[in-house]
Amino acid sequence: SDGLVILGASYAGVQIAVSAREHGYGEPILLIGDEADAPYHRPPLSKGYLAGKVEEDALPLRAPGFYAEQRIALHLGTPAAAVDRRGRAVVLADGSRHRFDRLAFATGSRARAIPLSGADLGGVLSLRSLADARRLRAAMEGAARAVIIGGGYIGLEVASSLVLAGCRVAVLEASDRLLSRAAAPPLAAFVEAAHRARGAQIVTGVQAVRIAGQDGRVEAVECTDGMSRPADLVLIAAGAVPNGEIAVSAGLGCDQAAIIVDACGRTNEPEVVAAGDCACIRQGAAVLRLESIQNATDGGRAAGRTLAGRPGAAPVVPWFWSDQYDMKLQMAGLPTGYDRHVVRGRMEDGRFAIYYFRAGTLIAVDTVNRPGEHLQARKLVATPGRITPEAAADEGTDLRALAG
């Protein structure tokens, strides 16, 4: 048999391979990735790695010998260009073909490009890969002024690293608040205040219109408010788009280039699974697309089980984290559509939690510098009905007992 071919060698791709093996898949597994680096941890790229606290030797996802032990063949450095479904083969950009019985998409997402004049100037960067992070870390040396385009998690994490490195930073956010896609207003407001207190300039409701430069180097970002903000470093951090083009061409069911899967990672084709940032999960008539390690890992696990012939989806609570300055932010659940929130602890102390309820049911909890409470919160969100807003707001409530 030609076995399993997995496109994309990161969290979801590696987890699919590992879980397929764990659940008894015995055929060959080929993991194809376009990056030259062996699979590595992405979150530190905008956090500890930029701050110089995490070095490259700490980044690999697995020890070097792991893949051979698991009989997982790695093919790195060449992208897949197309899938020939009738011929059951993947065609790589160098023209080589790899036949498969089963195929997995784990192609993730890429930094959204914005069509700005001057985006090709030296000193204008984006951040998705280790290669990008090496360039950004080099560019930080000696950068005195930076403009970050996009007030999402990656933009804000890089902003905090730059501020701590002594750089003057302005963050431009097109919408009227930070983290508009990824966090509820109460947490976003706290984060914004924390950035301002550290001296970062936060500019909401404003977009970049042009990047100006001289001799091929960036000098300023011209904005919709008429201001030209000087910069020797610009980071475009305007979100991520799924790498779904190959799946779309191959005829898989997609929603805006994100491959539609069920809770077991199954696509609309029986031999194909997908997981991670390139996928979205069907939930009734809607789809949910998440960009997180938790989603890539849990989705990869589900898809791997499906490939091994043992489908089974564990119900999961989405969770995420972000490190900025001295703040460890941890988010459990999704606060979409909350109608009430309560704060546990005092925001002024920089250690607190926000509990979000919808129709009396806890749906999400954000914690700041309370890692233990985050773990309890994940359990509380997973089992509705365990806590009321009043109990959540009361610091005397024994969360561990309620979480069970």
Q: Select 368 or 387, whichever has its Cβ closest to ligand FAD.
A: 368
Residue 356: strand pairing partners: 341, 364
Task: Find the shortest distance in angstroms from Cβ 124 to ligand FAD.
Answer: 17
The encoded tokens of residue 178 equal 């930070």
Under a CB-based contact definition with an 8 Å cutoff, are residues 350 and 366 in contact?
A: no
> How close are the terminal C-alpha atoms of the chain, in Å?
47
Q: Select 292 or 367, whichever has its Cβ closest to ligand FAD.
A: 292
Site string for ligand FAD, 127-166 (x = CB under 6 A): xx-------------------------x------------
Q: Select 213 or 370, whichever has its Cβ closest to ligand FAD.
A: 370
Task: Find the shortest distance in angstroms from Cβ 207 to ligand FAD.
Answer: 22
Binding segment for ligand FAD among 52-60, 202-210, 222-230, 317-325 (CB under 6 A)? 317-325
Among 67, 100, 105, 320, the residue binding ligand FAD under the rule CB under 6 A is 320
Q: Is 48 exposed, middle or buried, given 0-12, 13-18 or 19+ CB atoms closer than 10 A?
A: middle
Closest CA to 5 of 78, 104, 108: 104
Task: Find the shortest distance in angstroms from Cβ 351 to ligand FAD.
Answer: 20
- Answer yes or no whether residue 366 interacts with ligand FAD by CB under 6 A: no
How many Cβ atoms sit within 10 Å of the Cβ of residue 82? 15
Q: Select 58 or 227, whichever has its Cβ closest to ligand FAD.
A: 58
Task: Find the shortest distance in angstroms from Cβ 397 to ligand FAD.
Answer: 28
Contacts of 114 (CB under 8 A, 6+ apart): 149, 208, 236, 238
Calculate the alpha carbon distances from 191 to 60, 184, 187, 255, 375 in Å: 30, 11, 6, 32, 21
Among 31, 38, 42, 156, the residue binding ligand FAD under the rule CB under 6 A is 42
- Answer yes or no whether residue 100 interacts with ligand FAD by CB under 6 A: no
Q: Select 75 or 344, whichever has its Cβ closest to ligand FAD.
A: 75
E strands, 126-200, in order: 145-149, 168-173
DSSP assigned state of 72: E
Q: Select 128 or 341, whichever has its Cβ closest to ligand FAD.
A: 128
Task: Find the shortest distance in angstroms from Cβ 137 to ligand FAD.
Answer: 12
Rounded distance, CA 195 to CA 199, Å? 6
Closest CA to 244 of 302, 287, 308: 287
Task: Find the shortest distance in angstroms from Cβ 93 to ligand FAD.
Answer: 8
Among 103, 104, 233, 246, the residue binding ligand FAD under the rule CB under 6 A is 246
Binding segment for ligand FAD among 103-111, 170-178, 212-220, 393-401 (CB under 6 A)? 103-111
Task: Find the shortest distance in angstroms from Cβ 299 to ligand FAD.
Answer: 8
Q: Select 3 or 299, whichever has its Cβ closest to ligand FAD.
A: 299
- Answer yes or no whether residue 5 interacts with ligand FAD by CB under 6 A: no
Binding segment for ligand FAD among 26-34, 52-60, 214-222, 348-356 (CB under 6 A)? 26-34
Binding segment for ligand FAD among 141-149, 220-228, 320-328, 364-372 (CB under 6 A)? 320-328
How many Cβ atoms sit within 10 Å of the Cβ of residue 25? 22
DSSP assigned state of 44: G
367: phi then psi, degrees, rounded to nearest 5: -120, 150
DSSP H or E stretch at residue 51: helix 48-51
* CA atoms in the 13 A half-sphere facing the CB of 222: 10
Rounded distance, CA 282 to CA 261, Å? 6
Task: Find the shortest distance in angstroms from Cβ 317 to ligand FAD.
Answer: 13
Closest CA to 334 of 402, 297, 372, 281: 281
Under a CB-based contact definition with an 8 Å cutoff, are residues 351 and 366 in contact?
A: no
The encoded tokens of residue 189 equal 């407001």
Q: Select 167 or 220, whichever has its Cβ closest to ligand FAD.
A: 167
Among 60, 79, 350, 389, the residue binding ligand FAD under the rule CB under 6 A is 79
Residues at the contact surface with ligand FAD, assessed by CB under 6 A = 7-13, 32-35, 42-43, 45-46, 79-80, 106-109, 127-128, 154, 243, 246, 276-278, 291-294, 296, 320-322
